[in-house]
């Protein structure tokens, strides 16, 4: 539509007049576009949490209802809201992997099933050391997803630790 209107105007007016008018339109539009662009940039920057100086140092906003005594770092961290956290100084990858594995056992109830199976084996005196429970498709899929997420997290954590030093 814009192109057809522009061509129609070109046909109806003289060449000099059309070029002058066209340059004025471009000048006005470019100025308006720059203003809009700046306004949008300011809006986006204000939404970006990295550029916000939202870090609060007001410890009065934190009410400790537990019996545990919080460190100053913990209080300041809590004062910034639940989306804010301090990076750990060290990540114990074995402990982390163990926690993920425990989570997997609890979610899939594998431990209870294995315990029941082993109890039955002991009761029937038919204990076979090589007895293995095979995971179903959903459990295998979950195990695979958890493994890749754990590996990815630990790799990113290692990279962050290296960047700090």
Model pLDDT for residues 80-139, shown as the tens digit of each residue = 877 776 667 778 889 988 888 888 887 777 666 666 777 777 777 665 555 566 677 888
Q: How many CB atoms lie within 10 A of CB 88?
A: 10
In whole angstroms, give the CA distance from residue 20 to residue 104.
72
| pLDDT score for 52 | 46
pTM, two decimals, is 0.40
| pLDDT score for 164 | 66
| pLDDT score for 91 | 83
């Amino acid at each position: 539509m814009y192109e057809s209107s522009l061509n129609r105007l070109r046909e109806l007016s003289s060449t000099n007049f059309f070029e002058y008018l066209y340059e004025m339109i471009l000048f006005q539009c470019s100025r308006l576009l720059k203003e809009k662009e700046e306004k949008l940039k300011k809006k986006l920057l204000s939404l970006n949490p990295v550029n916000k100086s939202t870090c609060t140092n007001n410890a009065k906003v934190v009410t400790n209802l537990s019996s545990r005594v919080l460190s100053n770092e913990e209080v300041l961290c809590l004062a910034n809201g639940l989306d804010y956290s301090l990076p750990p100084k060290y990540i114990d990858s074995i402990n982390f992997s163990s926690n993920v594995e425990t989570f997997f056992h609890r979610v899939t109830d594998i431990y209870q099933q294995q315990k029941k199976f082993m109890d039955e084996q002991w009761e029937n005196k038919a204990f076979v050391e090589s007895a293995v429970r095979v995971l179903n498709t959903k459990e295998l899929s979950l195990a695979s997803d958890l493994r890749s997420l754990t590996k990815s997290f630990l790799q990113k954590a290692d990279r962050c630790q290296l960047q700090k030093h």
